[in-house]
Amino acid sequence: MYKEVIAIFDIGKTNKKFLLFDKKLKIVHEAEQKFDEILDDDGFACDDIEKIENWMKECVSDVILQKKYTIKALNFATYGASLVYLNHNGKRFTPVYNYLKPMPEDVLKGFYETYGGIEEFSRKTASPALGMLNSGLQALWFKRKKADLFNKIRVVLHFPQYLSYCFTGKIASEYTSIGCHTALWDFDSRCYHTWITKEGINLPDPIANSQIYDIDFHGQTIKTGIGIHDSSSSLVPYFEGTKEQFILISTGTWCIFMNPFNTEPLTTNQLKKDSLCYLSVQQRQVKSSRLFLGHIHDVNVEKISKHFGTEAGYYKKVKADAGMLSSLRENKDKRIYFQHSVPKDYIDLSVNPGIFQTFEEAYHHLIHDLVSLGMESLSLIIPADDKTQIVYISGGFARNEIFVKLMAAWLPGKKVYTSEIDNATALGAAMIIWENSFGKVAPAIDMGLKECKIEETISKSI
């Protein structure tokens, strides 16, 4: 009897992963692949979807033919803001267009005005106006710029559901892909926005993420999910791991602040400040804001390193200094790098690192300023009647001692934890179909929690 596993494809914009989880939700196999981009029919870079499709089927075939594991179930998590168009023969007949592709101005001429104006439309759909990043508007672009091809469409799928379709042949849609700055979902009425029908965009009605279909693949019956949007997938382990209300701060190149328990509608001010709402697997809004944290950090560290003559990556050796932290906390409202706002190039060239005595001092101030900016983003998702007691910090900055200590110092009324969950996105995709695949509740997982304790010197200054 081969070990039963659940297979997950975690398809990111840069890296594509294939993972196998055992019955204890431990990873027993992981493969990673990068694919060179190709050009779409307009000459713009896009994913090589044909190679991705072939690679996915090869991955599943190889596991079965090696006769080491039995794939009990299969699911998919992918980046959002991407659509796939199927013709009347059920075939994909276009590239998977890149969400970074520019949106021609004439496509949206008169569109927002028809539906109440850009501010009201954005509020209603919880989608800041982001051009092609609003995936629903990609379909509108397709209709207005490629009318002959648009007329061949039988159905429009989001990227996770298309990858599932490649294995199951089942047309499906689900809430997490619809509810991520797509401009498709009416958060007031909790259904597709009326513009979808009026423009003739054929989208399937959404169903639960726990839906599975039995497929036969090389003689094995595999229970296959319909896929999930990656941001919503990364929340699943936290929903399952705690019964209390929480906020998740997912850090990396982008820092995403997510509050699944804020039911207040988005305001115009929040939208202008890059806030939006996702939909969770429970079909609840997840109010979110974001900050280009990792990128801002990297470009400024490079400037500091150049001034002090330190090697690349030296900042990773810098330990939190209690005295510096205390001083920074006492002057928490005083920013040096970003006194008013973040400059367009993310570097304030007026700040001379020479005002600091050491790299360590300059770096502590930089992290302080980043935490200050982060608190501004965090405040956008905190409701007036906030009841959350727990904040989780995950990702790269969860390992930055200065960052987490300052963040905890700035949130004295909450318990702040760092959380290290390997491949949280893939894990979430496995957990949502676990019960329907194995007939029982998913096992408890180790969330890798560590409470952020504040030194006495910091606590006294709060």
CA–CA distance, 361 with 120 (Å, rounded to integer): 45
CA–CA distance, 460 with 462 (Å, rounded to integer): 6
pLDDT single digits (tens) 366-425: 999 999 999 999 999 999 889 899 999 998 899 999 999 999 999 988 999 999 988 999
Return the higher-pLDDT residue of 253 and 361.
Answer: 361
Residues of the chain above pLDDT 90, percent? 82
φ, ψ at 300 (rounded to 5°)? -80, -35
3-226 and 229-462, same CATH topology: yes
Beta strands 390-395 and 415-419 are parallel
The answer, yes or no, to whether residue 2 has pLDDT greater than 90, is no
* Section 237-246 average pLDDT: 92
pLDDT mean across residues, the chain: 93
Please report, for the chain, the start and end positions of each structural domain, with discontinuous segments joined by +: 3-226, 229-462
pTM above 0.95, yes or no: no
374 membership: H or E segment, kind and range: helix 359-379
Question: Could you tell me which residues come within 8 angstroms of residue 81 by beta carbon, excluding any fewer than 6 positions away?
Answer: 99, 132, 133, 134, 135, 138, 180, 181, 182
pLDDT-based confidence at residue 460 (cuts at 50, 70, 90): very low
pLDDT-based confidence at residue 1 (cuts at 50, 70, 90): low
CA–CA distance, 187 with 366 (Å, rounded to integer): 38
The answer, yes or no, to whether residue 454 has pLDDT greater than 70, is no
Q: Say whether domain 3-226 belongs to CATH 3.30.420.40.
A: yes
* Section 446-452 average pLDDT: 91
pLDDT-based confidence at residue 252 (cuts at 50, 70, 90): confident
* Section 181-195 average pLDDT: 95
pLDDT of residue 347: 80
pLDDT of residue 14: 85
pLDDT single digits (tens) 24-64: 999 999 999 999 999 999 999 999 999 999 999 999 999 99
The answer, yes or no, to whether residue 462 has pLDDT greater than 70, is no
pLDDT of residue 387: 87
* Section 263-271 average pLDDT: 89
pLDDT of residue 254: 85
Q: Would you give the distance in Å from CA 300 to the centre of its chain? A: 24
At 327, list the tokens.
């001083």
The CATH-assigned architecture of domain 229-462 is 2-Layer Sandwich (3.30)
Residues of the chain above pLDDT 70, percent? 98
Q: Specify whether the CB–CB gap between 391 and 416 falls below 8 A.
A: yes
pLDDT single digits (tens) 352-371: 999 999 999 999 999 999 99
